[in-house]
Amino acid sequence: MAFKDWFIVGRKPPKGTPLAAAAGTAEGVFLSAKSLLSFPIASAVVTMLWKLSSHYWQVGDIAVLIISLVVGALIFAISISDTSARPQGFLGWIIAIGIALINSLFLAASSLGLATAILDTPMPARPG
């Protein structure tokens, strides 16, 4: 298993597609719903880099955002390095970049503990 295989997953062909035409299709993990598989590791990397940089260089919370965007960009670059995993068309690229950005922001929120604080907040009671 190559390093890139941790970030690329096979994509199922549409029903009715001949097997020869469907061979070699893949999708980047960070660009799909399967990104949940890589999230815990990426989150741990971001938290570790942030804590180390906070300890040695006294950086603030903005460092988490920068580190998250760099880690997200690295995973995005690894994901699209496989030609069969690249988004197709302009809209596909916009969606892929949007999902990668959202995942990067979730990495930052996770490292800061904001995701837990947001998810643990009770919903206000409905009137009536």
pLDDT band at 8 (very low <50, low <70, confident <90, very high): low
Q: Region 31-53: what's the mean pLDDT?
A: 78
Has this prediction a pTM greater than 0.95?
Answer: no
Selection from 115, 92, 94, 116 nearest residue 105 by Cα: 115
Beta strand segments in the chain, E: 8-10, 26-28
Cβ burial of 50 (10 Å; 0-12, 13-18, 19+) is buried
Residue type, 113: G
pLDDT of 34 over the 60 cut: no
Predicted confidence at residue 52, as pLDDT, reads: 93
Give the model confidence (pLDDT) of 77-103 as tens digits: 888 888 887 888 999 999 999 989 998
Residues 64 and 46 sit within 8 Å (Cβ to Cβ): yes
Domain ranges of the chain: 39-117
Q: Hunting for tokens 């999902």 — which residue is that?
A: 99
Give the count of beta carbons closer than 10 Å to the beta carbon of residue 69: 17
Q: CB neighbours of 28 closer than 8 A, spacing ≥ 6?
A: 7, 8, 9, 75, 76, 78, 79, 80, 82, 85, 96
